[in-house]
Amino acid sequence: MGSKNRITIKEVAQRAGVSIATVSRVLNNPESVTDEKRERVRGVIEQLHFNPDPAARALSNRSFKTIAVMVPNIINPVFSLIVRGIIHSLDKNNFDVLLYDTEEDFGREQQVVSGLVQKMVDGLIAVAGTGKEISFTELSKRIPVVLIDRPDNVSPVDKLSVDDREGMHTLVAHMAERGYTRIALVNGTKGNISANSRARYFQQALEEQGLPCSPEQIVYSGWTLAYGKIGLNELLSRNLNVNGIICATDIIAMGVMHAAAELGISIPGDMGVAGFDNSPLGEYVSPTLTTLQYSSIEIGKESVRAILRRFEEPGASLLKQTYSLPLIARQSTQGPASSGSVSPPGGTQEAQDPWKETDS
Amino acid sequence: MGSKNRITIKEVAQRAGVSIATVSRVLNNPESVTDEKRERVRGVIEQLHFNPDPAARALSNRSFKTIAVMVPNIINPVFSLIVRGIIHSLDKNNFDVLLYDTEEDFGREQQVVSGLVQKMVDGLIAVAGTGKEISFTELSKRIPVVLIDRPDNVSPVDKLSVDDREGMHTLVAHMAERGYTRIALVNGTKGNISANSRARYFQQALEEQGLPCSPEQIVYSGWTLAYGKIGLNELLSRNLNVNGIICATDIIAMGVMHAAAELGISIPGDMGVAGFDNSPLGEYVSPTLTTLQYSSIEIGKESVRAILRRFEEPGASLLKQTYSLPLIARQSTQGPASSGSVSPPGGTQEAQDPWKETDS
DNA sequence: GTGAAAGCGCTAACAT
DNA sequence: ATGTTAGCGCTTTCAC
C-alpha cells in the first residue's frame, strides 16, 4: 500500500544545493527565500515530480485539511444535495471530504462518531440521522462539530436546522385554504426525533386551523419511497375519510402518490398530497408535488461557514440557527375535484435545473 | 486546528510502567504481550481516553486506509448508488472514502486527479465523468486506480464498464418488438465518450434491426433532467415523425417524459420512451420507465474488490470487465396506442426498495 | 536569508 | 516478552 521509492524534501534539497529548511520554506513561505534559490528549488521540485508527504505534513501541522461528513442515506437527493453544497464550498477552502453513509443505521452512526477521534479529520458535519441521540460532547472537545437537522439537546455544538413548526403550519394552512380539511400525516420512522417534531407541530397546526385532530391521523412508517406505500395503506385502513396527506419528506410523498395511483385514487382530485423538503424530482412527477423549499445546497454551504468559523474562533458562542421553509405550491394540492382547480399563488419558487445546482 | 494537549503513547507507557514499544504492541499485536501487562496498558488507555495519532501512524505505516472516489455528479442516483456500494464494502475492510464531486466539470476532474498524489489516499476509484480523457498513468504508478464506466484507452489500470453495445441492442430490439420502429436517441453531452459510444451502438442496432437510420435521429443534449426537455424539443423540431425515444440515461428519460406530458404527447401511446441505467425512481414516475438493469451497488462493490486485489497483488494482470444490462420492461414502452397494450414479458427484474438497498 | 537540529507520535528492527 | 533506538518526512525554532 501507499507507495515505493518516494522522493523526499531531502533529495530536493541536495539536488538544489540548499538545506531542507529552505525547501520547506519555498513550499510554505516562498517570500522568505531569495528569488534565485526559490526558482532553483522549484525547478528541482518540478523535474523530480516531488510531492510533499501529506502524512508527515499532518504530523507536524496537526491539520489534515479534511472534514468528515456523515449522512443517513446518500441516495436521498436531499442529502446528496447537502453533500454537494458541503463539498463545493469546502473545496474552495482546500478541504477534502471524508464521507460516511450510515445507511440509516444507528449502530453505524455510533461507530462512525466514536471512531472519528482516531481519524485524520479536522471536523465533522453530521446530517440528520436515525433520530436516536448521540452525544457529540466528547468528540467536540477535539474537533469542531456542526449538526444539520439533527435534534440534539445535549451536545454543545453548532446547529443548523429547518423550522419544523413553521413548515407544518405553512403546509396545513395551504391545504386548508385549498379545501383539504381532513388532513393526515405520513411520517418517518417511529421514534425518530425529526419525526416526533414534525408530528407535534402537525397537531399544533391542525388545532390552530381549527381542523379535526386525533392521533390516528398520524402514521409512522419510514423514510424511503417504499414506505410511502406502506404508510398510505396503513392510513387507508384506518378509515378516517382523509382528503389530504402531508408527508414528512418528498420521497415519502412520491411513494404515497405512486401507491395512490395504483389504487385509483386521483390526486389532487380525490386527495391532496404535499411533501416537505423540495426534492429535485418533485417537479418531474405527475402531478407535480407541492412541498416546502428546503435549500439543501445552501444549508450545506452554511454548515461549512460554521465549521470554518470555529477553526478561527474556537471559543465563539454556540450557533443555533433555524431555516424557514417557503411554500412551493404545485399541482398535487390544486384542490379537490368538486372545488375546481386554483391557479398557484405568487411567491412560489422552483429551481431551474435541480440536478445540477452548481451556483456560486 | 487539530487538537490541544494530546495524550501520547509515551504518557500511556509511563503510567502503565512499560515502554512505548509495549504500548504499541498491545495496540497492534496484542498476543505478543503478557496478559498482565496487556490488561494494565489497556486500563490506562481506557482511563486516559488515549487514541493513537493517525498521522503518526500513517507516517510510519505508509498507509492511510482511505480511498478516493471521484464522481461527476453525486446527485444523480446512479452515482450515489455506486458510492453507497463502494462505501459499504470499503467500510468492511476498514477503509474510509474521500469523496470528490466534480460537478461534471473537466477542470475539476483534472485538478482532483493531479492533486491526488499529495493526498492521504491509498487508491482511487473514478466513476464516469465528462467524457474527456484524463491519463491516470502517472497516478497509477503511486496508487491503484480503478475506472468505472470511464472509457479510457491510455491508462494501464483496472476497468469496469457497462456493455453499451449489448444495451443498445437490447433496447432497440425491445422497442421494435413493441411496435416502435422510428426510433431516436436523446443522448448526453456532445463529445462525451460514453455518449459517443452509445450513439455508435445505437446506429449499429438500428441497422441490424433493419430500421431507418440517419444521423438526425441522434440528439446530443446533456445528462440532467432539464436536458431531457431540451433534447426532446430539439428532436421534435427536426420533424422526423419519431415514435420511440431511447435516452442515454434514465434521468434524461424522465426529463423527456415530463416535457412530453407538457406537450400533450401521450406515453406510451404516441411515443415509447426508454432509459438506460435503472434509476430508482424509474418505477415511481408515470408511466413507469422501461430501462436496463444497471446494478450500481454491485458495480461499486466490484470496484472495491478490484482495488483490494491490487493491494495484495500489485502486479496482477489488468482487469477489463464489462457488465451486461438485462432489460427492465415497464409501461413507457407498452406499445403504440393502435397496437393495444402488451403485458410485460418474463425475466423482468425490479428492486424492492431502491432507496435503501443495503443488501449483503 | 539560511542552515542545523529538535521535535511531531508512532512502528519496527534490534538487542537483551 | 520487553526495552532501546532509529527512523518515517516535514515544520519550525534558534543561531549565525
| Res B333 pLDDT > 90 | yes
Look at residue B98 and tell me whether its pLDDT is greater than 50.
yes
DSSP annotation of A308 reads H
Residue of A nearest to B358 (CA): A103
Instruction: Decide if pLDDT at B251 tops 90.
Output: yes
Contact B75 A74 (CB under 8 A): no
**Spatial distance from the CA of A21 to the C1' of D14 (Å):** 13
Q: Which residue of A has its CA nearest to B104?
A: A356
* Residue B123 clears pLDDT 90, i.e. is over it: yes
Closest approach of A354 to chain B, Cα-based (Å):
8
Q: Is the CB of A321 under 7 A from strand D?
A: no
Cα radius of gyration (chain B): 26
> What is the per-residue pLDDT for B238?
96
- For B90, the closest chain A residue by CA position comes to A100
What confidence tens digit (pLDDT) does each residue in B295-304 have? 999 999 999 9
- Residue A162 · residue A150 · CB < 8 Å: no
Q: Which residue in B288, B275, B359 sits closest to B325, CA to CA?
A: B275
**To 10 degrees, what angle do helices A77-92 and A250-262 make?**
150
Residue in B97, B99, B120 nearest the CB of A120: B120
Whether the predicted pLDDT of B258 surpasses 60: yes
* Cβ A180 vs Cβ A205: under 8 Å: no
pLDDT band at B192 (very low <50, low <70, confident <90, very high): confident
Which pLDDT belongs to residue A354? 38
* Most B CBs within 10 Å, among A71, A96, A117, to test the B interface: A96
Give first-to-last CA distance, chain A, whole Å: 38
Q: Counting every residue, how long is chain A?
A: 360
Domain extents in chain A? 3-61, 65-163+296-323, 164-294+326-338
Q: Do domains A3-61 and A164-294+326-338 have the same CATH topology?
A: no
Q: Both ends of chain B: CA-CA distance in Å?
A: 38
DSSP state of A125: E
Which residue from B59, B77, B97 is facing A55, i.e. has the nearest CB? Answer: B59
pLDDT at position B191: 86
Is the CB atom of residue A63 positioned under 7 angstroms from any atom of strand D?
Answer: no
Strand, helix or coil at A313?
coil
Asked if residue A53 keeps its beta carbon closer than 7 A to nucleic acid strand D, the reply is yes
Please compute the mean of the pLDDT values over residues B167-195 and round it to a whole number: 95
Separation between the CA of B121 and the C1’ of D15 (whole angstroms): 38
Using alpha carbons, select from A217, A208, A214 the residue that is nearest to residue A172: A208
The answer to whether B32 CB is within 7 Å of strand D is yes
Among chain B residues, the shortest Cα distance to A94 is held by B115
What are the C-alpha distances in Å from B58 to residues A5, A60, B106, B299, B304? 16, 13, 31, 29, 21
Which residue in chain B is spatially nearest to A108 when comparing CA positions?
B91
- What integer pLDDT is reported at residue B338 of this predicted model? 65
Closest Cβ–Cβ partner in A255, A352, A358 for B103: A358
For residue B204, give the amino acid letter: Q
More confident site: A1 or B67 = B67
Partner residue opposite B83 with nearest CB, options A74, A77, A280 = A74
State residue A5's pLDDT score. Answer: 66
Residue B6's nearest nucleotide, by CA–C1', is C9
Mark yes or no for CB contact A355/B225 under 8 Å: yes
Residue B56 contacts strand C, CB under 7 A? yes
Q: State whether A226 and B61 contact (CB < 8 Å).
A: no
**Domain B164-294+326-338 fold:** Rossmann fold (3.40.50)
Enumerate residue ranges in chain A where pLDDT < 50.
Answer: 1-4, 339-360
Q: What is the rounded average pLDDT of the residues B278-294?
A: 92
Residue A3: exposure state from Cβ atoms within 10 A (0-12, 13-18, ≥19): middle
Nearest 5°: phi and psi at A358? -110, 30
Nearest CA to CA, how far is B2 from chain A (Å)? 5
Facing A355 at nearest CB: one of B83, B142, B251: B251
At A186, is the secondary structure helix, strand, or coil?
strand
Phi first, then psi: what are they for A143, rounded to 5°? -135, 155
Nearest CA of chain B to the CA of A247: how many Å? 16
Of A75, A255, A358, the CB nearest to B81: A75
Asked if B87 and A101 come within 8 Å (Cβ–Cβ), the reply is: yes
Find the farthest-apart pair of alpha carbons in chain A and give their distance in angstroms, rounded. Answer: 88
Residue identified by cell 398520524 is: A218
Q: So what's the pLDDT on residue B211?
A: 96
CA distance linking residue B131 with residue B72, whole number of Å: 10
Q: What cell does B139 get?
A: 497516478
The pLDDT of residue B59: 95
CA distance linking residue A244 with residue A334, whole number of Å? 11
Would you say the C-beta of A21 is within 7 Å of strand D? yes
Q: Do B119 and A96 touch (CB under 8 A)?
A: yes
CB A198 within 8 A of CB A248: yes
pLDDT for B319: 96
Decide if A226 and B356 are in contact by the 8 Å CB cutoff: yes
Task: Give distance CA B289 / C1' C9 (Å).
Answer: 56
CA A160 to C1' C9 (Å) is 36
Q: What does the pLDDT look like over A216-234, one tens digit per residue?
A: 999 999 999 999 999 999 9
Predicted confidence at residue B214, as pLDDT, reads: 94
Proximity of residue A63 CB to strand C below 7 A? no
> Between chains, do A74 and B87 touch, taking CB under 8 Å as contact?
yes
Report if CB A165 to strand D is under 7 Å: no
List bases, strand D, within 7 Å of protein CB: 1-5, 7-13
A248-282 burial by CB neighbour count: b if 16+ within 10 A, else e? bbbbbbbbbbbbbeeeebebbbebbbbbbbbbbbb
d(CA A149, CA A119): 24
Q: In the beta sheet, which residues pair with residue A158?
A: A146
- Is B355 a residue whose pLDDT tops 60? no
The minimal CB distance from A352 to the residues B75, B103, B226 is found for: B226
C-alpha dihedral (A8, A13, A16, A17), degrees to nearest 10? -150
Strands B272-274 and B244-247 come out as parallel
What SS3 class is residue A111? Answer: helix
d(Cα B189, Cα B43) in Å, to the nearest integer?
A: 60
What CATH number should be reported for the domain whose range is B3-61?
1.10.260.40
Mean pLDDT of B322-340: 88
- Nucleotides in C strand less than 7 A from protein CB: 1-5, 7-13
What pLDDT band is residue B358 in, cutting at 50, 70 and 90?
Answer: very low
Which pLDDT value is given to residue A222?
A: 93
Q: What is the pLDDT of residue B194?
A: 87
CATH code that applies to domain A65-163+296-323: 3.40.50.2300
Q: What is the pLDDT of residue B5?
A: 66
Partners of B320 in beta bridges: B159
User: Cα–Cα–Cα angle for A311, A313, A315, nearest 5°?
Assistant: 115
Is the CB of residue B326 inside 7 Å of nucleic acid strand C?
no
Contacts of B252 (CB under 8 A, 6+ apart): B186, B188, B221, B222, B223, B224, B225, B227, B228, B231, B275
Residues of B in contact with A66 (CB under 8 A): 98, 120
Q: Which residues of chain A are within 8 Å of residue B285 when distances are taken between CB atoms?
A: 284-286
Q: Looking at CA atoms only, how far is residue B318 from chain A in angstroms?
A: 18
Query: What residues of chain A lie within 8 A of the CB of B87, using their CB?
Result: 74, 99-101
